[in-house]
């Protein structure tokens, strides 16, 4: 099953390698991983999308917690959370097709960030599935390249994501 995990870490160099290395070294799967600073400059927040059965997820949680620089691990799956992803997509676009592309992009609340006489770049934000749909619709026009950020997520609650659930070290 797919899980979205929010990981609050100390903002020190090497933290990302420790976490990525933990996943590869123990054979856990990473679908996407994002990282960025938080309002507290000493902390960064990562959003990791991974998959595995309950036993694997329990180990991911515990092994992440074991890293000295990990402050808090929160598995958002099953709780209410908002997740978004950003995509930049470069398309072949001529005078003939440009109008139709922009029309579809508008439906997806996308915006044009670059136009050339035979190409354009569109920025789209949203849930992962929305971006997948947009890609599918753009395929007939010809996709030159695309880049996606991977998910960022926050709990839908008044409190910080980290207070969503208490990490239970017992079984």
Partner 1 sequence: MKNPQATKAAPAATGEPMKGADILIRCLERQGVEVLFAYPGGGSIELHQSLQKSKIRVILPRHEQGGAFAAAGYARATGQTGACMATSGPGATNLITGIADAYMDSIPVVFITGQVPHTYIGKNAFQETDIIGVTRPICKHSHLVLSPEEIPEVISEAFYLANSGRPGPVVIDIPKDVQQKTCIPLFPEQPVVPRAYKLKLAPEAREVEAVRKAIEEAERPCLYVGGGIISAGAEKELLKFAETYDIPVATTLMGVGCFPEDHRLSLKWLGMHGTYYANYAANECDLLVALGARFDDRVTGNVNTFAVNSRIVHVDIDPSEINKNKRADLGVVCDVKQMLKKLLRNPVRKERPEWHALVRKWKEDFPLRYADSHLIQPQYVVDRLYRLTNGEATIVTGVGQHQMWAAQFYQFKRPRQLLTSGGLGAMGFGIPSAIGAKIARPDQLVVEIDGDGSFQMNIQELGTIHCEDVEVKMIILNNQHLGMVAQWEDRFYGSCRGNTVLTNVRADRPYPDFVTIAKGYLIPGREVWKREEVDDAIREMLETPGPFVLDVHVEYQEHVLPMIPAGGTYKTIIME
Q: State which of residues 38, 51, 69, 114 lies at the interface with partner 1 (CB under 8 A).
A: 69
Among 2, 12, 116, 156, the residue binding partner 1 under the rule CB under 8 A is 12
Crossing angle of helices 95-107 and 128-138, rounded to 10°:
160
- One of 65, 77, 97, 149 touching partner 1 (CB under 8 A): 65
**Whose Cβ is closer to partner 1: residue 117's or residue 170's?**
170
Q: Which of 53, 51, 54, 74 has its CA nearest to residue 2? A: 51
Could you tell me the smallest distance in angstroms from the CB atom of residue 167 to partner 1? Answer: 9
Q: Which of 32, 34, 63, 149 binds partner 1 (CB under 8 A)?
A: 63
Residue from 3, 5, 9, 46 touching partner 1 (CB under 8 A): that is 9
The least CB distance from residue 69 to partner 1, in Å, is 6
Distance separating alpha carbons of residues 74 and 97, to the nearest angstrom: 45
Q: Which two tokens stand for residue 131?
A: 């971006």
Q: Tokens standing for 71?
A: 């402050």
Task: Collapse the DSSP code of 58 into the 3-class scheme (helix H, G, I; strand E, B; otherwise coil) and give the result.
Answer: helix
The nearer residue to partner 1, 17 or 103, going by C-beta atoms, is: 17
Distance between CA 16 and CA 170 in Å, rounded? 27
Bridge partners of 89, per DSSP, are: 122, 146
- Nearest approach in angstroms of CB 39 to partner 1 is 15
Give dist(CA 15, CA 43) in Å, integer. Answer: 11
Give contact residues for partner 1 (rule: CB under 8 A). 9-10, 12-14, 17-18, 21-22, 25, 42, 55, 58-59, 62-63, 65-66, 68-72, 169-171
């Amino acid at each position: 099953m797919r899980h979205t995990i929010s990981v609050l870490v100390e903002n020190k160099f090497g933290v990302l390698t420790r976490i990525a290395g933990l996943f590869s070294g123990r054979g856990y799967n990473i679908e996407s991983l994002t990282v960025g600073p938080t309002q507290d400059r000493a902390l960064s927040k990562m959003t990791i999308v991974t998959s595995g059965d309950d036993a694997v997820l329990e180990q991911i949680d515990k092994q992440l917690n074991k890293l000295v620089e990990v402050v808090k691990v929160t598995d958002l799956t099953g709780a209410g959370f908002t997740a978004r992803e950003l995509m930049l997509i470069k398309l072949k676009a001529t005078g003939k097709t440009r109008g139709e592309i922009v029309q579809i992009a508008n439906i997806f609340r996308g915006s044009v960030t670059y136009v050339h006489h035979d190409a354009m770049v569109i920025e789209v934000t949203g849930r992962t599935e929305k971006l997948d749909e947009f890609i599918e619709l753009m395929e007939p026009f010809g996709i030159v390249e695309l880049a996606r950020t991977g998910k960022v997520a926050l709990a839908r609650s008044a409190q910080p994501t980290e207070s969503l659930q208490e990490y239970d070290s017992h079984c």
